Amino acid sequence: MNIFAQTETEEEVLLDVVTDEQYQIVVFNDHVNTFDHVIQSLMTICKHEWIQAEQCALLIHTTGKTVVKSGQYKEMERMCTALHDRSITAEIEKK
């Protein structure tokens, strides 16, 4: 058995695990933004369908926060920044 081939395979698997880490955007309730503003923002930025955006807005309102999107860090960072630009309180968490 070739020890170098085994080491390369293990290294590739570890790299795949590290790069596949998932993150999520959590949006928090506030007393500033309207339901319509949050719904429209989720549709535009997170590519939600209307019903999904409405359900998220209701969960945010009733529970104080909810996860609105999951994915790779760079994509979540872009979306979270866009939500901040619309005055929506959001943060990225590791899943």
Local confidence band at 11 (pLDDT 50, 70, 90 cut-offs): low
| Domain extent listing, the chain | 21-94
Instruction: Determine phi and psi for 33, rounding to 5 degrees.
Output: -80, 140
Q: Above 80 in pLDDT, residue 71?
A: yes
CA distance readout (Å), 19 to 8, 14, 84: 17, 9, 26
pTM over 0.85: no
Question: What confidence tens digit (pLDDT) does each residue in 73-83 have?
Answer: 999 999 999 99
Residue 86 has pLDDT above 80, yes or no: yes
Q: Which CATH number fits domain 21-94: 3.40.50.1980, 3.30.70.580, 3.30.1390.10, 3.30.365.10?
A: 3.30.1390.10
Cα distances (angstroms) measured from residue 18 to each of 8, 10, 23: 16, 13, 12
Q: At what angle do helices 35-45 and 50-63 cross, to 10 degrees?
A: 130
| pLDDT value at residue 3 | 57
CB atoms within 10 A of CB 56: 20
Q: Rounded to whole angstroms, how far apart are CA atoms 68 and 58? A: 12
